[in-house]
Amino acid sequence: MSWNKQRPSGMPSHRYRNVYDRVAVPLTGRSWPVRELTAAPLWVPVDLRDGNQALAEPMDPARKRRFFELLVRMGYKEIEVGYPSASQTDYDFVRLIAETDLAPEDVTVVVFTPARRDLIERTVESIRGVRNDVVIHLYTATAPTWRDVVLGLDRAGLRETITAAGRDVLALAGDLPNVRFEFSPEVFNLTEPDYVLEICDAVTGLWDAAPDRPVILNLPATVEIATPNVYADQIEYMHRNLARRESVILSVHPHNDRGTGIACAELAVLAGAQRVEGCLFGNGERTGNVDIATLALNLHAQGVDPMIDFSGIDEIRRIVEDCNRIPVHERHPYVGDLVHTAFSGTHQDAIRKGLAEHRARAAASGIPEHELAWRVPYLPVDPADLGRGYEAVIRVNSQSGKGGIAHLLETGYGVELPRRLQIDFARHVQRHTDLGGQEVTAAQLWALFHEVYAPSGPVVVAEFATASTAAGRTVEAVTGLLADAGHGVDVLSLTQQSLEAGSAAEAISFLEYRHHGRAAWAVGTGDSVPAATIAAVVAAANRQAADRVPVR
């Protein structure tokens, strides 16, 4: 019997070639697989250029400015601000930087240009008077298909075009003391390794790359073509073989066509890259540029300072969405609406226990919760690090269990349901959510709770002090209290397990009892239930009781 019943799909996969048939991948004895990520590379957001050129409605001046100010606030120190020869808006934005103090002095401004003299001239014109450090970023596609189909140049011809443009850049801006240069062999990942190395060495020679005026060599995976290990090999090959390696800032610029842009960037850094270009939340051509927010927060989540502040991630997202006019997906790493939320029962149970353990460990150690080592299951980072609360970590639907339901009542209403009651109530919730097929909010759960346990009669809320409920006396205390208030009470069950152990202080959180044949409930004070919580619960219950009989 075969376990694998798959059959040929009939998809025309034969039309596409394996990466190894398209480009030589020269490296053997690679060292990137055994390296570790221990520090953040230099992040360079290209939202205002590569991201912008992919928008149906490119950013107007106001949106560009808002985005730029956001990037500055977050701590980016090198920002590609536009393609000044492409549009008046891009040109004017660079002029705005030149003529105002919009860019703090420690921020380097990158401007992008193709290898065409008239466009280089316009680019250099745009940066006149900029006081910040400036990088002029020159690019040309170098891969065979682009040479043959797009540019109509052979290897030698393209080399001449690039070096001619390099000379133009040098002639027009080489004497500006605040200007450095960047070169991108576009579609690096499909270019013959010996050829791209030759071109890059020619450019760094021409621009006289030196440790005090390094040249940025940016090696794009313009269109992803292979598994990330191949890109890592390509980057390590360049890292090992570049002529002026000490005078080169090795940069990468992954896109995400195969959905592996993040992996490409991470492996490329292991392979020697020092600088990463990308966009916030992965905007950009086609499937986007690599997402530099996820990359940074991946470092944060493994204990490495990302060097960028994401502590207000929802505000960052709102600005990015507003500027790009593209929504961020609910499942987007770190920032999506649902990424810190569990609907499923066992996940909720683990999160709830994990959060309780975190709080207890913080109290025991004296270390504040936001400083304490994080180990809550299913939450790779503390949502609070990103400026989020814990309200959304657990949401309830038909996939949920008692733990999640109890969590919502605890956080929403301060009610701690004893285990037996959790089990019982979860059955009612399950029926309700199965029927409706929808999520239930804490308020709906609370209403359902009343419907189930106090369908018509009075809701009696009893508040009583720990002192009166010393071990072994709880039943009497409750009964007595209610009797004083004029109710005969038959206490059917005290469900808190710790009651059995005789510990009143822990025990008194919630008691289920029956009053004159009708369900009612009582809340008691104890060390585990702060007075404020009790007060809130009592008030909430009393508000909801049609015929309320508050005991105190």
Ligand X SMILES: CC(C)C(=O)C(=O)O
Ligand Y SMILES: CC(=O)SCCNC(=O)CCNC(=O)[C@H](O)C(C)(C)COP(=O)(O)OP(=O)(O)OC[C@H]1O[C@@H](n2cnc3c(N)ncnc32)[C@H](O)[C@@H]1OP(=O)(O)O
Check: CB of residue 270 under 8 Å from CB of residue 235.
Answer: no
What are the residues facing 521 on neighbouring strands? 512
Site size toward ligand X (CB under 6 A) is: 9
Three-state DSSP class for residue 219: strand
218 binds, among ligand X, ligand Y, none (CB under 5 to 8 A by kind): ligand X
Q: How far apart are the C-alpha atoms of 182 and 204, rounded to whole Å? A: 9
Check: CB of residue 447 under 8 Å from CB of residue 536.
Answer: no
255 annotated as ligand-binding: yes
116 binds, among ligand Y, ligand X, none (CB under 5 to 8 A by kind): ligand Y
* Centroid of chain to Cα 492: 49
Q: How far is the CB of 112 from ligand Y (least distance, A)?
A: 7
Q: How far apart are the first and last CA of the chain?
A: 72
Check: CB of residue 337 under 8 Å from CB of residue 330.
Answer: yes
Range 208-247, binding ligand X (CB under 6 A): 218, 220, 222
User: Taking the C-alpha atoms of 480, 486, 487 and 489 in order, what is their torsion angle to the nearest 10 degrees?
Assistant: 20
Closer to ligand X by Cβ: residue 53 or 411: 53
Q: How far is the CB of 124 from ligand Y (least distance, A)?
A: 15
Q: Binding ligand Y by CB under 6 A: which of 123, 140, 341, 422?
A: 140
Closer to ligand X by Cβ: residue 190 or 538: 190
Structure tokens, 497: 């397990």
Range 125-154, binding ligand X (CB under 6 A): 139
Q: Binding ligand Y by CB under 6 A: which of 86, 417, 462, 489?
A: 86
Check: CB of residue 225 under 8 Å from CB of residue 189.
Answer: yes
151 binds, among ligand Y, ligand X, none (CB under 5 to 8 A by kind): ligand Y
CA dihedral sign, ordered 310, 315, 321, 323: negative
Binding mask 244-273 for ligand X (x = CB under 6 A): ---------x-x------------------
Closer to ligand X by Cβ: residue 139 or 195: 139
Closer to ligand X by Cβ: residue 286 or 548: 286
CA dihedral sign, ordered 423, 429, 433, 436: positive
Range 149-188, binding ligand Y (CB under 6 A): 150-151, 186
Q: Which stretch binds ligand Y (CB under 6 A): 83-91, 99-107, 348-356, 395-403?
A: 83-91
Q: How far is the CB of 134 from ligand X (least distance, A)?
A: 17
Q: How far apart are the C-alpha atoms of 313 and 326, rounded to whole Å? A: 16
53 binds, among ligand X, ligand Y, none (CB under 5 to 8 A by kind): ligand Y
Binding mask 29-68 for ligand X (x = CB under 6 A): ---------------------x------------------
Q: Which stretch binds ligand Y (CB under 6 A): 133-141, 172-180, 307-315, 419-427?
A: 133-141
* Cα three-residue angle 43-369-413, rounded to 5 degrees: 115
Q: How far is the CB of 192 from ligand Y (least distance, A)?
A: 18
Closer to ligand Y by Cβ: residue 114 or 354: 114
416 binds, among ligand X, ligand Y, none (CB under 5 to 8 A by kind): none
184 binds, among ligand Y, ligand X, none (CB under 5 to 8 A by kind): ligand X
Which is nearest to 237 in space by CA: 279, 187, 197, 294? 197
* Centroid of chain to Cα 286: 20
289 annotated as ligand-binding: yes
* Centroid of chain to Cα 371: 20
Residue 195 touching ligand Y (CB under 6 A): no
Closer to ligand Y by Cβ: residue 220 or 526: 220
Site size toward ligand Y (CB under 6 A) is: 15
What are the residues facing 183 on neighbouring strands? 138, 217
What single letter denotes the amino acid at residue 366?
G
- Phi-psi region at 129: left, alpha or beta (left = phi > 0; alpha = psi -120 to 50): left
Residue 427: Cβ within 10 Å count:
11
Three-state DSSP class for residue 149: helix
144 binds, among ligand X, ligand Y, none (CB under 5 to 8 A by kind): none
Closer to ligand Y by Cβ: residue 162 or 442: 162
Residue 433 touching ligand X (CB under 6 A): no
Q: How far apart are the C-alpha atoms of 253 and 485, rounded to whole Å? A: 74
List all residues 6 or more positions away from 318 whose beta carbon is below 8 Å from its beta carbon: none
Q: Binding ligand X by CB under 6 A: which of 47, 133, 186, 224?
A: 186
Closer to ligand X by Cβ: residue 114 or 354: 114
Residue 50 touching ligand Y (CB under 6 A): yes
Closer to ligand X by Cβ: residue 234 or 496: 234
531 binds, among ligand Y, ligand X, none (CB under 5 to 8 A by kind): none
Check: CB of residue 483 under 8 Å from CB of residue 489.
Answer: yes
Q: How far apart are the C-alpha atoms of 56 and 94, rounded to whole Å? A: 22
Q: How far apart are the C-alpha atoms of 30 and 237, rounded to whole Å? A: 8
List all residues 6 or more positions away from 119 whose beta carbon is below 8 Å from its beta carbon: 85, 113
Which is nearest to 489 in space by CA: 500, 476, 479? 479
Place of tokens 């070169």: 183
Give the residue ranges of the annotated binding site.
50, 253, 255, 289
- Interface residue list for ligand X (CB under 6 A): 50, 139, 184, 186, 218, 220, 222, 253, 255
- Interface residue list for ligand Y (CB under 6 A): 50, 53, 83, 85-86, 114-116, 139-141, 150-151, 186, 222
Give the residue ranges of the annotated binding site for Mg(2+).
50, 253, 255, 289
